[in-house]
Amino acid sequence: MKIIGLVPVRNEAWILPHSLACLSGFCDVVIVSDQNSDDGSREICRTFPKVVLLESSECRISTQVRWHLLDAARGYDGVNLLWCTDADELIAPRTARAFFDARGHTLTPGTVIECMYAHLWHRPDRYREFDWRYGPHLKPLALVDDRRMDYDRSRLLSIHEPRVPLDGAVATIQAPELRVLHLQWLLAERTQMRQAWYRCREWLDGKAAAEINEMYSGTLPDPRARTAPLPAEWADGLTFPDLAIDRQQSWNERDILGWFGERTPAFFEPLEIWHIPVLRKAFERSAGRRPVPDRSYRPSWPVRARHFGKRLAAAARRRLPL
């Protein structure tokens, strides 16, 4: 059984040297589908012997790229394990290799593997905890390919779909010892721009503003976010990028400003993206006023006050001596 890493990429030069080194440590093959990167991502891929680079001249959404990667993985004979990852995700390679070496003979075709998914938070030595959305949680990231399971390919415009095909799975194995570190939130400014890009993309695709804003409300800056020190074994054998890149313009920002030029910033006013200074300033220059996003999804003040009171009471109970 081969372990085949599958990675969609678009302008990920900031993290690729680290993620490809990680994947090369436990995968037999790493298939990268590059979506017209212009930041040197393709050149980085070519420096890793295990990487097979699929180059595209267009920029498809990640859901469609995963279909392409699955098809490419099935060009390899045998029953193989597919590790479906993003460029900004790392796992201690020795831990992953030891797990698959020990359990490989028990992994039957059609088995989905759920790994423990943790978000590093603004620093490479801390991760987010105690949060329903961003706290550590099990997530399906690997599949023992039976060559029959497939994604729902009718959802052409969907941005957020399961990482691996789930329909038809014969078994699910929970592997909390496989701790995957998500690095997106290391770059606070870029992450906010990326979430704004998702909102704008879904608005262009015709989704309602209140629905979009509610869906992404949990990604808004949270100064109260609780974090914990990252255990050393979670990062064994890993390297991390220079976070100075957070101050550089991203492709998400270029796309949004391009859409502003085509549609005007006022077209996007209902979206909750104006906490980002460069976008707010673009709106104010164009419209001569401050933007007013659609916040109709938010509960009324009495409901929010009761919810806040319950949270305070729960926090007080946690602090009572046993």
Domain-embedded: residue 293:
no
Predicted pLDDT of residue 310: 57
Span 77-89, average pLDDT? 96
List beta partners, residue 260.
none
How many structural domains does the chain have? 1
Answer yes or no: are the C-beta atoms of 238 and 92 closer than 8 Å.
yes
Question: How far apart, in whole angstroms, are the C-alpha atoms of residue 178 and residue 174?
Answer: 9
Domain-embedded: residue 144:
yes
Span 46-55, average pLDDT? 97
Domain-embedded: residue 268:
no
pTM for the model: 0.87
Domain-embedded: residue 256:
no
The better pLDDT of the pair 322, 265 is held by 265
What is the residue range of 88's domain? 3-185
Q: Which residue has the tokens 């759920």?
A: 114
Q: What is the β-pairing status of strands 29-35 and 51-56?
A: parallel
Domain CATH code at residue 70:
3.90.550.10
Domain-embedded: residue 221:
no
Domain-embedded: residue 143:
yes
Domain-embedded: residue 257:
no
Domain-embedded: residue 75:
yes
Secondary structure, 3-state, 170-192: CEEEEEEEEEEEECHHHCHHHHH
Work out the pLDDT band at 154, boundaries 50, 70, 90: confident
Predicted pLDDT of residue 204: 96
DSSP reduced 3-state for 162: coil
Lowest-pLDDT choice from 27-41, 52-66, 231-245: 52-66
Span 284-300, average pLDDT? 92
